[in-house]
Structure 1
Amino acid sequence: MFTGIVEDLGTVLAVERGADFARLTVDSPVVVTDRTMLGDSIAVNGVCLTVTGLHGTAFTADVMHETLRRSSLGALRRGSHVNVERAMPADGRFSGHFVSGHIDGTGTIASITRDGIATAYAIRAPYALLRAIAEKGSIAVEGISLTVTFANADAFGVAVIPHTAAHTVLPERRVGDIVNLEIDPLARYVARLMAVPARAADASADAASAHADGITEQFLAAHGF
């Protein structure tokens, strides 16, 4: 579990590519020198990876084909900068929002504009993700916990303050670039409950038809809320 608060702006030192995998070596002094161990979970641009090697101030992680196919990690090259965050300790501060490190898909930056001190990004995404993104809700973009400024059927927006820009990869992104997206985990469960009707033997008739009629007080009660 992560929070979407980036700890370090790491630099890719090497990318070893196989037929259906990649092995990344990332220099991240802030993270590696603070009790990082083999087997630890580290989010790289929002993707949860396992530390398989430690070399001075760098760590190595294997990336399987499924992850390469579903994320922007396949585009990384030597010298690329990446957002790095370790898994949240049980006694740590919780400053962002719940981020699993299991991205839901990717989006494409549609526009970048100035908005006072902030930089505003409009990001196009598949409708399956957009329907779970709400204005003023939370979303992780490249592993960064951000607040949604608008959401419609085609795109959503986020705004980045100067501090976030200075400590993450977003200023390096351009219109047309691909970014990793993870929706608020709560939206996943709501979407699943709405998409799959309850079996009549397990729930009331109202709960069984909630996928068609919308969420009701009875539907939520039948599912333990």
Structure 2
Amino acid sequence: MFTGLIEEIGTLRSVQRQGEAMVLTIGAGIILNDVKLGDSIAVNGVCLTVISFDRSQFSVDVMPETYRHTNLTELSPGSPVNLERAMMAGGRFGGHMVQGHVDGTGVIRSRRAEANAVVFTVEPHKAELLRTVVPQGSVTLDGISLTVVDVDREAGSFTVSIIPHTLAETVLQHKRAGDTVNIENDILGKYVDHLLGLRDREQPRRTGLTESMLRENGFMA
């Protein structure tokens, strides 16, 4: 579990590819202070497991499922990446509940300045991702906990507003229109949506009065 508060920007040092599998080696500093084999580290919002490390870098496996559903495939040596260690029990919860399980990717449609903020408009590649994106709710872009400003369901996009500190401390500073981002929707909305969907499939809603409905509810013998 993560909070969506980026601890540092790392630098991708090497990529080893084998089909739809990869091993990424990433240069870092802060997050290596207490790292152990098997630790979870979110890389651009993707929860990955440390398989080796030294004082200046760590390596992680990327499996085919992750390869196909995130923007990690677009990385090359020298690419900056957002990094966050899994949260500690009893620590401050400054963002929101982030699993590191990316729901899909989206493309940045526009980036514009608004006073001291920068507003990004993002269009998910899968339209169904908008089902659980709620204005003033939470969303994670490349591992960053952000608040949704607005949702335009007709255009198939949503907007987020970034303060200067967040922009300067994350890879969003490098993102422009046409770039992709990893999207993880709020876990609470996903569970509610899933459970309501199960209910509707198991007990289809009926519209209007029918003889069978009246019989089932005791209004007819």
TM-score by length of 1: 0.87
SS at match of 2:196: helix
Q: Output the CA distance in 2 between the equivalents of 1:211 and 1:46.
A: 41
Contact 1:142 1:179 in 2 (8 A): yes
SS at match of 1:93: coil
Alignment partner, residue 175 of structure 1: 177
Give the letter for the 2:61 counterpart. D
Contact 2:21 2:63 in 1 (8 A): yes
User: Cα gap change, 1:157/1:37 in structure 2, threshold over 3 Å: closer, same or farther?
Assistant: same
Aligned length: 204
Alpha-carbon shift at residue 89 of structure 1 (Å): 0.5
Alignment partner, residue 220 of structure 1: none
Alignment partner, residue 60 of structure 2: 61
Alignment partner, residue 19 of structure 1: 19
User: Cα gap change, 1:80/1:210 in structure 2, threshold over 3 Å: closer, same or farther?
Assistant: farther
- Asked if 1:145 is matched to 2:145, the reply is yes
Q: Output the CA distance in 1 between the equivalents of 2:206 and 2:47.
A: 32
Give the letter for the 1:160 counterpart. I
Q: Output the CA distance in 1 between the equivalents of 2:206 and 2:161.
A: 33
Write the deviation string for residues 78-124 of structure 1: whole angstroms up to 9, x where unpaired. 00000000000112110000000001101110000001100000000
Identical-residue share of aligned pairs (%): 45
- RMSD of the alignment, in Å? 1.6
SS at match of 1:131: helix
User: Cα gap change, 1:14/1:115 in structure 2, threshold over 3 Å: closer, same or farther?
Assistant: same
Alignment partner, residue 188 of structure 2: 186
Q: Displaced runs of 4+ in structure 1, greater than 2 A?
A: 197-200, 208-212
Alpha-carbon shift at residue 127 of structure 1 (Å): 2.0
Give the unaligned 5+ runs of structure 1: 201-207, 213-225
Q: Output the CA distance in 1 between the equivalents of 2:189 and 2:97.
A: 12
TM-score by length of 2: 0.89
Higher alpha-carbon Rg: 2
Alignment partner, residue 108 of structure 1: 107
Contact 2:20 2:68 in 1 (8 A): no
